[in-house]
Amino acid sequence: MANVLLGVTGSVAAIYTPELYRELRNAGHAVQLVATKSSLYFFDAAAIEATPVGSRNKEIVILDDDEWPNAHYQRGDPVLHIDLRRWADVLLIAPCDANTLAKLALGITDNCLTCVYRAWDATRPVILAPAMNTLMWEHPATARHLAQITADLRGSLRIAPPISKTLACDDIGVGAMAERPAILNVVAGLLQVK
């Protein structure tokens, strides 16, 4: 089994975070979660129950404020996004909203999750489970961003593609996050290849 770093972004699909977290744990994985500020609109971090894993991290749910907890950095202070990168075998971002997808493609590092991604070893697996409105998914920028990330990761990227259904906004079309069993299958498939 693997150390899975679960990144959660500001998509309505973040409501499934507690269930995805639990299912990853039930599959035998150690899981830590990095939540963007906007993701917390859709799920309650207190709904994640578990024992912390990792050597330096006291929390299972890592928030942006955890990145730099002291008033001033002092040499020797832990750098959380580096510690998380070192701990994780797999980076899974589910859901990956359009905003975060663009940040990953452009190298923007304005939160803990995007810092982890930017510091990630491009030979190690990254799984993205995009989730956004259909027109956002079909926007030309989304295809450009996915192509850039694919090129950057040189074969270590896996996509759990979005599915078609009635979305939270009542539009019907592709854009809903892949079902949790499909995401778990992508994780399992990566681990069999190792």
Residue positions annotated with a catalytic role:
169
Contact 48, 63 (CB under 8 A): no
Q: What's the one-letter identity of residue 8? A: V
Helix axes 98-106, 140-153, angle to 10 degrees: 50
- What residues form DSSP beta bridges with 32? 5
Q: Are strands 61-62 and 163-166 parallel, antiparallel or unpaired?
A: unpaired
- Residue 35's nearest CA partner among 121, 97, 83 is 97
Secondary element (H or E) of residue 30? strand 30-35
